[in-house]
Amino acid sequence: MALLDILTYPDKFLTKTAKPVVNIDGALNKTIDDMIETMYNAPGIGLASIQVGCDKSVIVYDPSHGEERKSLTVLLNPKIIETCGETVSENEGCLSVPDFRSDVKRSASLIIEALDRDGKPLKIEAEEHLAIILQHEIDHLNGILFIDRVSALKRELYKRHIKKQLKQNEK
């Protein structure tokens, strides 16, 4: 397995929409294994393929955070088919948006359809923390970053911060 580079804002690849997985082959399985290793190493609780420069519709996540790979899940072509209620994801963060956290409005619960790593159909009903993780990662597959869901003022402040950092790194 290999650690992959996690793309960070303002990389334009993060705004791409992932393509459906149509062929589960050795190359895809290697990418999935590398994504899992990268997520745990980061450390993170979720990672979408777009974040590592892969345009296939794949997410990996493990909400157990810190416990040894207790709830690792791989989803191919995940689609939200139903949402219910509203909640605030407090202090949400992202591996692709370093040094920024914010409250984000999310659905309180949802139902997702996807394929597992072997191509078998799954239906997942998620609430609370898991619902937030899934919405966040599926957003990535649709080219949406969590900063796109915060106020324009907070988003602009973060963009200015990043531009300043990029200029300093150029020196």
CATH number (domain holding residue 95): 3.90.45.10
- The verdict on residue 59 lying in a domain is yes
- For 42-58, b/e burial (b = at least 16 CB within 10 A) is eebbbbbbbbbebebbb
Contact 37, 44 (CB under 8 A): no
Write out pLDDT tens, residues 124-164: 999 999 999 999 999 999 999 999 999 999 999 998 988 88
Q: What is the extent of the structural domain holding 61?
A: 12-170
Q: In this structure, is residue 7 part of a structural domain?
A: no
Instruction: Classify residue 1: in a domain, yes or no.
Output: no
20 in a domain, yes or no?
A: yes
Q: Is residue 62 part of a domain?
A: yes
The CA-based angle 49-9-38, given to 5 degrees, is 40
Query: What positions carry a catalytic annotation?
Result: 137
87-138 pLDDT tens trace: 999 999 999 999 899 999 999 999 999 999 999 999 999 999 999 999 999 9
Q: Count up the domains in the chain and report the number.
A: 1
Domain presence at residue 162? yes
Note the residue count of the chain. Answer: 171
